Amino acid sequence: MKQRSKVLCVGACCALVLTPWGKIPEMISSDVSGYYIGNGGLSSGYKVLKVDRTGYGEMYSYDVMHHGILNAYPFKYSATFLSITLDFTNGSQAVLFEGWLGLEGRLHCSKGSCGGLGNVSRAGERVADLPEEFQRALSIFKH
């Protein structure tokens, strides 16, 4: 019995040592509001996610060739400790996951409709934090 307790204790200590506890402040919290840029390499542009504190957001498709926004896709989201699930109004879904292996500071689309959302990076809280060409395109798109 004592030997079994030692093995369990050693196993638990190893698990604590191997867990990257220092990463916890960088992980997703329940407040994920802000702007994110996704570059999945599947098109000539990129996606921008606008996420607000009410649980809703929009995904914009920006086309580099045309210097403009092609479409906006509304969604509602739910966030857990390590992931954000986007439920688009057209019925599709994307799950963005915080990973430690080569994806530090970024989210990775792990399942669902991932077109253009392969890797997603936080851009900031305001439109002014986004690339200037996107800001111009958004002002035209909204009018």
Query: Is 9 inside any structural domain?
Result: no
CB 106 within 8 A of CB 117: no
| 114 occurs within a structural domain | yes
**What is the pLDDT of the chain when averaged over all its residues?**
78
Query: Is 78 a domain residue?
Result: yes
Would 83 be classed as within a structural domain? yes
CATH of the domain at 125: 2.40.128.360
Two structure tokens written together for 35: 């702007």
Confidence category of residue 26, pLDDT binned at 50, 70, 90: very low
Note whether residue 5 is domain-resident.
no
> What is the extent of the structural domain holding 84?
23-142
DSSP 49-81: EEE-TTSEEEEEEEETTTTEEEEEEEEEEEE-S
Give the integer Cα–Cα distance in Å for 128 and 136: 10
Name the domain count of the chain: 1
**pLDDT surpassing 80 at residue 75:** yes
Q: Distance (Å, rounded) from C-alpha 32 to C-alpha 107?
A: 12
31 confidence band (pLDDT: 50, 70, 90) = confident
pLDDT at 121 over 50: yes
Residue 65 inside a domain? The answer is yes
d(CA 5, CA 11): 10
